[in-house]
Each structure stands twice: as structure tokens, then as C-alpha cells.
Amino acid sequence: MNNTVTNAWTRPPEWQPDRQSVTGHRIGTREEWAAAREELLAREKEHTRQGDELARQRRELPWVPVEKDYRLGTDDGPHRLAELFEGRSQLLIYHFMFGPTYEAGCPINSSIADNINGLLPHLNAHDVTMLLVSQAPVEKLHTYKRRMGWDIPWVSSANSEFNFDLGYSTNEEETRAWLAPNLGSLPPIVERNARASGTDVAGYLTESPGFTAFVLEDGVVYQTYATGWRGVEFLMGYYPILDRAPKGRDEEDGFQLWIRRHDEYDGL
């Protein structure tokens, strides 16, 4: 009787060293995988240490006093920036792409808000208030917020220079002047998102995504950090997960074209 123990890692009889999967990926032994994983783990640990160092350097950036008296639209009327902290000492703002000509929020930004929304109780418990800001009027923002089922606070900078001063909004005339010589070089996602947001490309590109951090100390609001575009990927929780999936992001030339609002995926 053959008493050989078999399990999921037992080498099949037909195994050959250079065997590949149907998709062309190399197939190896458990021992080869373990050796390669050990080498990768050393690099992952170094990446983690580098991330810790970058986080320390972010915290050491100089604080810049916010000198303008910005008033942002809320359900309760205009509020000063300091009032948006809601009694906490830290305020994080995601600049959500929902411009004055939009009829709905950008699908990519909507996927980001999905991620932020579930984290609010944890952030609030750690002395952090987080909210969204957009150029569209409060009424449009809150209609869309109800559709998406979000709890995250969302304020309007429609009657303020806030989003312009921080570099996340431009007027339509400036945008069209910039766009004219660059129209043919835009990735497909731009036209797709513009159409999905109910505006044209120029109207869509009056806005850009961004993240800004503030602190309140002795009654003074300071800006401490800001980033935009791919710098906001840390808010896109699905990407770190996909980066660890067998096929990764699998976007190639279709950058972000797969992303929809959470109520628009087929079969959901």
C-alpha cells in the first residue's frame, strides 16, 4: 500500500521546471516560492521602514498659518474653517471633484469617498475630523450624498476662494485655454468621467483631486500638508488590495476605466 501523504503543495507527476500557466505565468515548486517570497519580504520590510520615515518627515513640515477668513457652505449656512474642526484639533479635507457644471460627483472621487466614509468613527476617535469639499452648491452635494448613502460631512466652496487658493480649482476660461493644445493627449478616463459627471471635458477639468491637512492650535488654523493626483492613492483602499491580488491592478491602457460608482456595477 502506498502511504505517501499528499496535500495541496505536493508536486504533481507531470510537473516540469519550466512549466507555465495558461496566461504565461511561471509555475514553480513550494521551495522556489518560499525563497522568492523571503527575498521579496526583505524589500517589503524596507518599504515599510521608508514609509515610516516619510510619515515622520510629513509631520515635520512647517505649519503655515491660514490668513484668509474662508467661509464654506454647510447645512447650517457658512462656517469658518476653524468651526469645521468640530471640537477636534486636526482637520483633513478631501477635495472632491464636483464642479459647478457637474450634475453628479466624479465616479473615481466617489470610490474614494466610499473608503473615507467607513473610517469616520475611527478618525473621530483619534482627534481627527475629516470632510469633503467641492465647488458645487450645497444642495447638489447633499442630493448626491443621499444617493451614495454617505455620512461624511460635505461642504461647498462655491462662494469662497478656498479651492482656488489651494490649487484644486480653476475657472472654466483658464481651463479651456490650457485644454486646447492638450485635448488629444488626455487619457480615455477623462472623457468617460466628464460624461458620467454630466459635464464636458473642460467643465470636468476645472476641478482636480486633492488632500489637505490642517491643525488648530491656540485659535489659529495652520495648513500642515497637501497632496494631489496620484498622491491621494492612499485613500483608494481597493488599490493596495489589488496590488496583492494575483493579477494586480490589471489596468494596462485602461487606467481606472473599470471604476464605477458603487451603485452602478453590473449585477449589484
Q: How many domains is the chain partitioned into structurally?
A: 1
Report the pLDDT value the prediction gives residue 152, as an integer from 0 to 100: 96
Query: By residue range, what is the domain housing residue 89?
Result: 64-242
Per-residue pLDDT of the chain (268 residues; tens, 9 = 90+): 444 443 444 444 444 555 766 667 788 889 988 999 999 999 999 999 999 999 999 999 999 999 999 999 998 999 999 999 999 999 999 999 999 999 999 999 999 999 999 999 999 999 999 999 999 999 999 999 999 999 999 999 999 999 999 999 999 889 998 888 887 788 899 999 999 999 999 999 999 999 999 999 999 999 999 999 999 999 989 888 888 898 888 888 888 888 788 999 985 4
Looking up cell 462662494 gives: 159
d(CA 145, CA 90): 23
Specify if 158 maps to a domain.
yes
Specify if 22 maps to a domain.
no
Q: 165: Cβ–Cβ under 8 A, 6 or more apart, which residues?
A: 68
Buried b / exposed e over 229-256, threshold 16 CB at 10 Å, is eeebeebbbebeeeeeeeeeeeeeeeeb
d(CA 208, CA 230): 11
In 3D space, the residue among 60, 214, 220 whose CA is nearest the CA of residue 128 turns out to be 214
d(CA 162, CA 69): 9
Q: Which three cell numbers stand for residue 16?
A: 516540469
With beta carbons less than 8 A apart as the criterion, state whether 204 and 193 touch.
yes
Write the CATH number for 125. 3.40.30.10
Specify if 186 maps to a domain.
yes
Specify if 223 maps to a domain.
yes
Specify if 20 maps to a domain.
no
d(CA 207, CA 22): 43
d(CA 175, CA 168): 12
| Sequential DSSP letters for 61-120 | SPPEE--S--EEEETTEEEEGGGGGTT-SEEEEEE----TT-SS--HHHHHHHHHHHHHH
* Torsion (CA) 40, 59, 56, 126 in degrees, nearest 10: -70
Specify if 41 maps to a domain.
no
With beta carbons less than 8 A apart as the criterion, state whether 111 and 117 touch.
no
Radius of gyration of the chain (CA): 23
What is the maximal distance between C-alpha atoms in the chain?
A: 85
Specify if 101 maps to a domain.
yes
With beta carbons less than 8 A apart as the criterion, state whether 194 and 200 touch.
yes
| Sequential DSSP letters for 187-241 | -HHHHHHHHHTTS-HHHHTTB--EEEEEEEETTEEEEEEEEEGGGGGGG-THHHH
Specify if 58 maps to a domain.
no
Residue type present at position 70: Y
